[in-house]
Amino acid sequence: MNDVLSQPVVVEGDVAAEVEAFLTKHWDKENGRPRDADGRIRGWMEKVFEAGWAVASWPREWFGRGLDKDDARTVLAAFRKAGAPGAGQDRTNISAATLMTFGTDELKRGLIPGFLTGKYTNCLLYSEPGAGSDLAALRTRAERKGDEYIVNGQKVWTSGAHKADFGLLIARTDWDVPKHQGISFFFIDMRQPGVEIRPINQITGDSHFNEVFLDNAVVPAKNLVGKEGEGWKVLQTALAVERLIMGDGAGERRQGSSKSNVVSLIDIAREAGKINDPLIRQEIARATAYRQLNALNVARAKEEMAQGTSSPIMSLGKLAMSRILHTDAAVMTQILGAASMLDGADNERAADVNYRTANAYMTSIGGGTDQIQRNIISERVLGLPREIELDRDVPFRTSRAVTG
């Protein structure tokens, strides 16, 4: 794979024909797996990366093909039609997109290939016990010591930390400037003695989230993304990608599954013998309209993300998906009626509804709460006045987040 990095990928002929030929040669569409004898997804992802399809819109010298947005859309559509993973990561890979926009050439060459091929996994070390909705109030400290930063603090609600190779970390490097200005962004090695991870058990039975304790953890100075003290700007790109992913339905996936777990409300109504109930039909129509509208908005957001922007439009999709998941659960409950109170293996449909009802709150909170998304939409999309922040322009050391 290293040989590929020094050789730009060249697009020859028609993109649609070329990507179709690649898929026909390497992907078994009938069985939904790579054609290689061992059928390894990692091996498949490496082939996609080496061919330049993973981030087709990126420049050729940076692992892509330099395609315009229409051709990049053609590539993604072909992969989706074939049921093949790996394309479109220029819009959906948080680590790779953040590094591409703000990372040094050394960091990009060292880490992006691993994130695009699945060799490396990540987690997001943002929220803290005292800095959830107001992330800029974070108190995790990163102190420069020679060629390293020493990190101390606590993060919470960190998805996938127990499996992650790297964490996207925001930490305070300057306490004597206003809160948004003293934050820096790092890629930290999660597999070191200074990182302790404790799972948080959810009401659904999943353990998506974790507490992470950082005790003299070490980050090489070269793993700083962007300039010291300008991490808030980097964070906005990372958050935009996360919200785009959640707006595209990531919150519907059960733990351990990469596939969307969408269930047809029409099928449930048919099973329950209520497909001709006018009130049920009206609720299904409303829920379906929400999904269709959100799909259009997410497509719009993806176009902006492909152009390297971190538009607040992503917040619309993320907020919409939260409403969709709660609405679907409510409609399912209405269809099942009293049977929705059942649970267990003998009541599969009711158990699914119960799971969805509880799990919907994950999307209401993750990636910024619904209330935070409404603030972003009101201020940055609608142009309404900003919310008053009394501590926005005072040194963080003297702010209420520190002094109480």
pLDDT digits 0-9 by tens, 67-105: 998 899 899 999 999 999 999 999 889 999 999 999 999
* Stronger pLDDT, 361 or 121, i.e. the higher one: 121
Same domain membership, residue 348 and residue 255: yes
- 268: domain range? 236-381
Residue at 387 is within a domain: no
Residue at 393 is within a domain: no
Q: What was the pLDDT predicted at 213?
A: 98
Same domain membership, residue 334 and residue 287: yes
Please indicate, yes or no, whether the overall pTM of this predicted structure exceeds 0.85. no
Residue at 226 is within a domain: yes
Strand boundaries in 25-163, DSSP class E: 27-28, 33-34, 122-125, 141-145, 148-155
Whole-angstrom CA distances from 201 to 65, 72, 132, 136 are 43, 40, 19, 27
Overall average pLDDT of the 152-168 stretch: 95
> What does the H/E/C string look like for 306-369?
HCCCCCCHHHHHHHHHHHHHHHHHHHHHHHHHHHHHCCCCCCHHHHHHHHHHHHHHHHHHCCCC
* pLDDT above 50: residue 8: no
Same domain membership, residue 254 and residue 197: no
Give the chain's largest Cα–Cα span: 71
CATH number, residue 259: 1.20.140.10
Looking at 207, 230, 253, which one is the last position of a domain?
Answer: 230
Q: What was the pLDDT predicted at 369?
A: 86
- pLDDT band at residue 262 under the 50/70/90 scheme: low
Same domain membership, residue 255 and residue 356: yes
CATH number, residue 171: 2.40.110.10
Same domain membership, residue 251 and residue 362: yes
Residue at 6 is within a domain: no
The total number of structural domains that make up the chain: 3
Same domain membership, residue 223 and residue 242: no
Q: What was the pLDDT predicted at 261?
A: 46
Q: What was the pLDDT predicted at 252?
A: 53
* Stronger pLDDT, 362 or 44, i.e. the higher one: 44
89 three-state secondary structure = helix
Q: What is the pLDDT of residues 106-128, one digit of tens each?
A: 999 999 999 999 999 999 999 99
Looking at 179, 201, 230, which one is the last position of a domain?
Answer: 230
Indicate the DSSP class of residue 133.
Answer: S
Residue at 346 is within a domain: yes
Same domain membership, residue 71 and residue 46: yes
Q: What angle do CA 355, 245, 219 make, to 5 degrees?
A: 105
Token output for 251: 């919150």
Residue at 87 is within a domain: yes
- pLDDT band at residue 279 under the 50/70/90 scheme: very high
Same domain membership, residue 241 and residue 225: no
- pLDDT band at residue 259 under the 50/70/90 scheme: very low
Residue at 390 is within a domain: no
How far is residue 12's CA from residue 399's CA, in Å, rounded to a whole number?
Answer: 58
Indicate the DSSP class of residue 377.
Answer: I
- pLDDT band at residue 11 under the 50/70/90 scheme: very low
Q: What was the pLDDT predicted at 368?
A: 79
Same domain membership, residue 373 and residue 273: yes
Looking at 209, 230, 251, which one is the last position of a domain?
Answer: 230
Overall average pLDDT of the 9-36 stretch: 84
φ, ψ of residue 332 in degrees (nearest 5): -60, -40
Same domain membership, residue 307 and residue 214: no
- pLDDT above 90: percentage of residues in the chain: 60
- pLDDT band at residue 54 under the 50/70/90 scheme: very high
Overall average pLDDT of the 362-386 stretch: 86
* pLDDT above 50: residue 140: yes
Same domain membership, residue 349 and residue 252: yes
CATH number, residue 49: 1.10.540.10
Residue at 402 is within a domain: no
Same domain membership, residue 75 and residue 99: yes
* pLDDT above 50: residue 7: no
Q: What is the pLDDT of residues 289-345, one digit of tens each?
A: 998 888 888 777 776 665 555 567 778 888 888 899 999 999 999 999 999 999 888
Known catalytic residues are 242
